[in-house]
């Protein structure tokens, strides 16, 4: 899949944002006033900013309001609904802690749950697609959720928890990678099943339908070199998980180090998310001889 910057930004940032909101909703860290304002500002900036970034991906954003209508069937619609619901609830909660020094605990907890739910719906947008075998698995949700929660903990200053959660997220990431590598073949999609011509013999593409490119090739048939991907996986793992976890778990807590941990995590997260898209193969590639 085409690793569009808008979706990478959206999923990475909003994941962090909603993760942070979840922690804030649970009262972690227990802050009020200006300090709370700063935390909430970051959380809202990330989650709302991420959502806004996602609209850059739209061909026709003026109809975006209609996207709340199909929650019965569409994970994307559900995501929109949950995102708005969690932002509203967490907004109320934030107003309480920032301006009135009041914790609407129940609203906070519900907001936290909705925030995590939002991340889950985001993950399901990808995990629901059988056309992209690498994504079409519960590990996709585990990957999004574990990173969102770990990132939220990191931003929420929950150093030890964050360190542990990051290691868990790292483990999930590794599992997602290595299990994902095999899934396309396991599902049995081949150029033969795509064309129905396997009974005759071995099938290969002779000529593409057009010599020029098209939306499908641009959007869904992205080829990443294996060597390149391996390098990026190492980078992602080191910066997203190992370095920040080491800082959090092994070094004394310190604002400067925390900042480094956050920046490192963010960098690694982008690399991981880039790979999430770039390595995902859509079955339509079979019709173009790509696999």
Partner 1 sequence: MTQLPAQTTRKLGLVIDLDTCVGCHACVISCKGWNTENYGAPLSDQDAYGEDPSGTFLNRVHSFEVKPEATPAQTIHFPKSCLHCDDAPCVTVCPTGASYKRVEDGIVLVNEKDCIGCGLCAWACPYGARELDKAAGVMKKCTLCVDRIYNENLPEEDREPACVRTCPANARHFGDFADPESNVSKLTRARGGMDLMPELGTKPVNKYLPPRPKDTMDEIDILAPLLAPVATETKGFLGWLDKALEKL
Partner 2 sequence: MTHHQPQIDTSPKVSDEIRKTTCYMCACRCGINVHMKKDDEGEMRVAYIEGNRDHPVNKGVLCAKGSAGIMQINAPSRLKAPLKRVGPRGSGEFEEISWDEALEIATGHLSRIRETNPEKLAFFTGRDQSQSFTGFWAQAYGTPNFAAHGGFCSVNMAAAGIYTMGGAFWEFGQPDWDRSKLFMLFGVAEDHDSNPIKTGLAKLKERGAKIIGVNPIRTGYNAIADEWVGITPGTDGLFILSLAHELLKAGKIDLEYLTRFTNAPVLVNGDETSDEFGLLLRDKDDKLLVIDRATGKPTAFDKKGVKPDLAATHTVKDVTHRPVFQHLAERYMSDEYAPEAVEERCGVPAGRIRAIAAELARVAFDEAFEIEQEWTDFRGEKHKTMTGRPVSFHSMRGISAHSNGFQTCRALHVLQILLGTVEVPGGFRFKPPYPKPAEAHPKPHCKVTPGAPLNGPHLGYVQGPDDLMLKEDGSPARIDKAYTWENPMSAHGLMHMVISNAHAGDPYKIDTLFMYMANMSWNSSMNTKGVMEMLTDKDENGDYVIPNIIYSDAYSSEMVAYADLILPDTTYLERHDCISLLDRPICEADAAADAIRWPVIEPDRDVRGFQSVLCDLGARLHMAGFVNEDGSAKYKDYADYIVNHERKPGIGPLSGFRGENGDEFGRGEVNPDQMDRYIENGGFAVHHIPEEAAFYKPWNMAYQDWAVKTGIYDAPQPYLFNLYVEPLRKFQLAAEGHGHRQPPEHLRERIKETLDPLPVWYAPFEDDNVDTEEFTVHALTQRPMAMYHSWGTQNAWLRQLHGRNPMYLPTKIFAKHGFEDGDWAKISSAHGEITVPVAHHGGLNDNTIWTWNAIGKRKGTWALDEKAPEATKGFLLNHLIHELQPPKGDGLRWANSDPVTGQAAWFDLRVKIEKVDGPPENSQPDFDPIKSPVGKGPENLAWKVGK
Residues near 240 by Cβ (< 8 Å), separated by ≥ 6?
147, 166, 169, 170, 173, 264, 265, 267, 268, 269, 271, 272
Asked whether position 210 contacts partner 2 by CB under 8 A, the answer is yes
Q: Residue 212 Cβ, how far from partner 2 at the closest point, in Å?
A: 4
**Binding letters toward partner 2, positions 71-110, x by CB under 8 A:** ----------------------------------------
Binder of partner 2 out of 188, 206, 225, 227 (CB under 8 A) = 206
Q: Residue 209 Cβ, how far from partner 2 at the closest point, in Å?
A: 8
Asked whether position 250 contacts partner 1 by CB under 8 A, the answer is no
Which region, judged by CB under 8 A, interacts with partner 1, from 23-31, 158-166, 266-274, 279-287? 279-287
Asked whether position 128 contacts partner 1 by CB under 8 A, the answer is yes
CA distances from 79 to 114, 116, 282 (A): 10, 11, 22
**Binding letters toward partner 1, positions 75-104, x by CB under 8 A:** xxx--x------------------------
Which region, judged by CB under 8 A, interacts with partner 1, from 43-51, 105-113, 125-133, 232-240? 125-133
Provide the CB-side half-sphere exposure for 119 (13 A, CA). 31
Nearest alpha-carbon partner for 125 in 15, 204, 22, 233: 15
Asked whether position 59 contacts partner 2 by CB under 8 A, the answer is no
Asked whether position 196 contacts partner 2 by CB under 8 A, the answer is no
Provide the CB-side half-sphere exposure for 83 (13 A, CA). 27
**Length of the chain measured in residues:** 291
Is 30 strand, coil or helix?
A: coil
CB-count burial class (<10 Å; 0-12, 13-18, 19+) for 82: buried
Nearest alpha-carbon partner for 14 in 159, 93, 119, 106: 119
Question: Do 55 and 77 meet the contact criterion of CB atoms below 8 Å apart?
Answer: no
Report the C-alpha gap between 193 and 180 in whole angstroms: 20
Q: Please say which residue, 205 or 251, places its beta carbon nearer to partner 1.
A: 205
Which region, judged by CB under 8 A, interacts with partner 2, from 7-15, 148-156, 169-177, 201-209? 201-209
Binder of partner 2 out of 185, 209, 228, 234 (CB under 8 A) = 209
Residues forming contacts to partner 1 in the complex (CB under 8 A) are 1, 57-61, 63-64, 66-70, 72-77, 80, 125, 128-132, 187-189, 191, 193-197, 199-210, 212-216, 218-220, 282-284, 287-288
Residues that bind partner 2 (CB under 8 A): 204, 206, 209-212
């Amino acid at each position: 899949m085409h690793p569009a910057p808008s979706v990478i930004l959206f999923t990475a940032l909003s994941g962090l944002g909603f993760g942070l909101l979840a922690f804030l909703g649970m009262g972690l860290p227990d802050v009020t006033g200006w300090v709370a304002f700063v935390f909430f500002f970051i959380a809202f900036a990330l989650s709302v900013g991420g959502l806004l970034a996602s609209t850059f991906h739209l061909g026709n954003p003026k109809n975006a309001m209609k996207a709340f209508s199909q929650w019965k069937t569409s994970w994307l619609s559900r995501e929109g609904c949950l995102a708005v619901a969690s932002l509203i609830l967490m907004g109320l909660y934030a107003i309480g802690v920032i301006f009135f020094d009041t914790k609407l605990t129940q609203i906070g907890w519900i907001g936290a749950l909705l925030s995590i739910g939002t991340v889950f719906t985001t993950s399901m947008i990808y995990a629901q697609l059988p056309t992209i075998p690498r994504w079409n698995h519960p590990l996709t949700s585990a990957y999004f959720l574990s990173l969102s929660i770990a990132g939220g903990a990191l931003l929420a200053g929950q150093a030890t928890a964050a360190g542990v959660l990051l290691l868990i997220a790292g483990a999930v990431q590794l599992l997602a990678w290595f299990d994902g590598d095999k899934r396309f073949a396991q599902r049995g999609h081949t150029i033969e099943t795509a064309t129905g011509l396997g009974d005759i013999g071995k099938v290969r593409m002779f000529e593409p339908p057009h010599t020029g490119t098209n939306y499908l090739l641009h959007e869904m048939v992205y080829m990443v070199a294996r060597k390149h991907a391996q390098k990026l996986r190492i980078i992602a793992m080191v910066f997203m998980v190992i370095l920040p976890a080491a800082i959090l778990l092994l070094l004394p807590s310190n604002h400067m180090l925390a900042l480094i941990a956050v920046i490192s995590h963010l960098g690694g997260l982008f690399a991981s998310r880039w790979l999430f898209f770039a390595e995902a193969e859509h079955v339509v590639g079979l019709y173009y001889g790509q696999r």
